[in-house]
Amino acid sequence: MVKKKILKILYKKKGMYLKEEEVTSHAGITAEELKTEIESLKSDGYLIDSSPSEGYRLVKSPNLLLPYELQRELNTEYIGRNIHYFPEVDSTNEVAKKLAEEGAVEGTLIIAESQSRGRGRHGKRWLSPEGGVWMTIILRPDIPPVKAPHLTLLTGVAVAQTLKNEFQLDVGIKWPNDILIGDKKVCGILTEAVADQGELNYVVVGIGIDLNVDLELFPPKLREGATSLQFELEKEVYGVELVQIFLKNFEDIYEKFKEDKFPEILSQWRQLSKTIGKNVEVHKRGRVVHGEAVGITKDGFLILELKDGTLRKVLSGECIHRETG
Ligand code: BTN
């Protein structure tokens, strides 16, 4: 890809001028073609200085999740090696399912700057304006369908660890899969498994991170419980680096999962949990269970201690934190 080649050499000497001949010979194109490509890069948001005597100089890259940016310093084996990028799409989970049906390889990443029909859990809408990270990973694990929810928990661990390590914020997980900073949601995960005759065909794991989204775009009720990294850090966050680090962390944890080390992942989950120790309500199909969250089983069920002291296991539902127990 020509753009990739041009960027490679410009990045090598970022901030310095490179003679036109150096760039054209590296990319294998004519000076005229180079001009066209530079214009196209500028319209992607790259700030490139050009001077007739000195050549070209890369000054600044756009804060976009462009595939050639993501793959530039990606150190994964297979997660994110194959990328489908969209400035806008209906839902990355929907695209992922179509691609998975067509045979897309494990680790394929679908990523978009915005989604027009982003989907959340329980059939809810997921607001996905520009400034967020909206992505889906296609997985093909050799596991029984009942174990698919484990992938949600492991993804939560990968996101929470990434945000905690990179930004030293009070990051944790609200069961089963919301990533919180303090008590505000910064990321949601939507895992969808497709099985046929008891066999798992594929799983798509959708992750939405409110990176630099403008929280004012959210309706007041949603805004109350939400935050963004930009809001917490009081500065714009560069998405490419964060996604690269996340993909590597995700791959490492997913590999652990494939080696049957889910108990290890669960103990990381417990350490990151903001739910255990809290009084919670779990809502499911119009019914509500109240209790204190006291643990998680080896299969990922939340264990609630009810008022009368009995224990109740719940596998799914919407969990609301009430107060510290
Ligand atoms: C939730 O907390 O309700 C889950 C939200 C998941 C949102 C992500 S954004 C990328 C992917 N595409 C979607 O349509 N949804 C998921």
Same-domain status, 151 and 56:
no
**Where a domain ends, among 60, 75, 106?**
60
Q: What is the pTM of this model?
A: 0.94
| Pair 70, 243: CB distance under 8 Å | yes
Mean pLDDT value of segment 104-109: 98
Same-domain status, 12 and 129:
no
Edge-first strand order for the sheet with 278-284 is 311-314, 302-305, 287-296, 278-284, 318-324
Residue 142 pLDDT > 60 = yes
- Name 176's bridge partners: none
DSSP code, position 237: -
Residue 48: CA atoms inside 13 Å, Cβ hemisphere, count? Answer: 25
Q: At 180, which CATH number?
A: 3.30.930.10
Give DSSP secondary structure letters for 40-67. Answer: HHHHHT-EEEEETTTEEEEEE--SS--H
Same-domain status, 214 and 297:
no
Phi, psi (rounded to 5 degrees) for 31 = -60, -35
- pLDDT band at residue 1 under the 50/70/90 scheme: confident
- pLDDT band at residue 292 under the 50/70/90 scheme: very high
Tell which atom from ligand 1 comes closest to the C-alpha of 135: 10
Same-domain status, 258 and 226:
yes
Full residue range of the structural domain in which residue 7 is found? 2-60
Same-domain status, 311 and 254:
no
Same-domain status, 71 and 211:
yes
- Mean pLDDT, the chain, integer: 95
Same-domain status, 31 and 115:
no
Residue 157 pLDDT > 90 = yes
Same-domain status, 42 and 142:
no
pLDDT in tens, 52-95: 999 999 999 999 999 999 999 999 999 999 999 999 999 999 99
Same-domain status, 216 and 99:
yes
Mean pLDDT value of segment 31-37: 95
Mean pLDDT value of segment 251-268: 97
Ligand 1 pocket residues where CB is under 6 Å: 91-93, 115, 118-121, 124, 126, 128, 134-136, 178, 188-190, 206-208
CA gap 317, 155 in Å, rounded = 18
**Domain count for the chain:** 3
Phi, psi (rounded to 5 degrees) for 28 = 70, 40
Mean pLDDT value of segment 22-42: 95
- pLDDT band at residue 315 under the 50/70/90 scheme: confident
Mean pLDDT value of segment 280-287: 92
Same-domain status, 201 and 126:
yes
Q: How far is the CA of 4 from the centre of ligand 1 (A)?
A: 30
pLDDT for 274 equals 97
Q: Which two tokens stand for residue 52?
A: 């007739």
Tell which one of 128, 139, 177, 180 to mutate to probe ligand 1, the residue whose CB is within 8 A of the most ligand atoms: 128
- Percent of the chain past pLDDT 90, that is, above it, reads 91
Q: How far is the CA of 119 from the centre of ligand 1 (A)?
A: 5
Q: At 36, which CATH number?
A: 1.10.10.10
Q: How far is the CA of 188 from the centre of ligand 1 (A)?
A: 6
**Where a domain ends, among 23, 42, 60?**
60
Same-domain status, 317 and 302:
yes
Helix 20-27 to helix 31-44 angle, to the nearest 10 degrees? 90
Neighbours of 95 (CB within 10 A): 21
CA gap 295, 211 in Å, rounded = 30
Residue 184 pLDDT > 70 = yes
Mean pLDDT value of segment 89-106: 98
pLDDT for 285 equals 87
**Where a domain ends, among 45, 60, 75?**
60
Q: How far is the CA of 33 from the centre of ligand 1 (A)?
A: 40
Q: How far is the CA of 305 from the centre of ligand 1 (A)?
A: 30
CA gap 214, 181 in Å, rounded = 16
Tell which one of 98, 99, 111, 126 to mutate to probe ligand 1, the residue whose CB is within 8 A of the most ligand atoms: 126
Among candidates 301, 300, 298, which has minimal Cα distance to 312?
A: 301
Write a three-state SS string for 167-191: HCCCEEEECCCEEEECCEEEEEEEE
Residue 126 pLDDT > 90 = yes
- Percent of the chain past pLDDT 70, that is, above it, reads 99
Residue 323 pLDDT > 80 = no
- pLDDT band at residue 324 under the 50/70/90 scheme: low
Same-domain status, 235 and 283:
no
pLDDT for 325 equals 44
